[in-house]
Structure formats: C-alpha cells, structure tokens
C-alpha cells in the first residue's frame, strides 16, 4: 500500500497531500466510512486518482485547485458521477 498523508479536521474536512501515486482508494474509503462532506486534495494527484472518488455520492464538495496534474477533462468526467458535488478546480467553473 502506498503512503497517504491525511489529516481529519473535526470530521468535517479531509485534507490529503497526494505526492503522486497515493492510494486514493484508501482515501475514498475513509471519506465514505466517516461520512466526511468535504475533501481537499493537494499535491501530485492526477486524473487517474479521481477514478477512486466516483462512488462518493455523499460528498458535498471537492477542492482540487492545488492538484497540479488534474485536467479539466478529468474534472468533467468526475462530474458525470458526482453531479451533486461542487468541484473546485483551476480553470474549471464550480458546478453542482
């Protein structure tokens, strides 16, 4: 299993430092298990990592603005699975 740096803040927000190759399946499982409504990812996460987040239907918002390897196309694809989640990403307008 790859290393995931994460901090739970009041069980409201999960901050994850993704230095590339992080185990996003573990992150997604923790978000789901704790019913965390907001997730901020930063660092080297990529479009490939977003695939692990597609089942987080209870996620209210997702902040990807600091993910330097996530593309607009990756965000648009994720929005298809999470239409009720507000997703923040540089260059892509937040939508619900």
**What does the pLDDT look like over 17-65, one tens digit per residue?**
655 445 788 888 888 988 888 988 877 788 988 999 999 999 999 999 8
Give the C-alpha distances (Å, rounded to integers) separating 9 from 4, 17, 38, 76, 87: 16, 14, 10, 28, 20
Instruction: Give the DSSP letter of residue 85.
Output: S
Residue 76 has a pLDDT of: 93
Q: In what order do the strands lie in the sheet with 13-18?
A: 5-9, 13-18, 38-46, 61-69, 86-88
pTM metric for this prediction:
0.76
As a whole number of angstroms, the distance between CA 9 and CA 4 comes to 16
């Amino acid at each position: 299993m790859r290393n995931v740096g994460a901090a739970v803040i009041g069980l409201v927000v999960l901050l994850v430092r993704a230095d590339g190759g992080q185990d996003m399946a573990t992150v997604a499982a923790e978000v789901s298990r704790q019913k965390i409504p907001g997730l901020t990812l930063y660092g080297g996460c990529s479009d490939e990592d977003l695939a692990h987040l597609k089942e987080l239907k209870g996620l209210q918002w997702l902040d990807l603005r600091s993910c330097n390897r996530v593309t607009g196309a990756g965000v648009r694809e994720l929005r298809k699975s999470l239409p009720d989640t507000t997703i923040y990403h540089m260059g892509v307008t937040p939508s619900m």
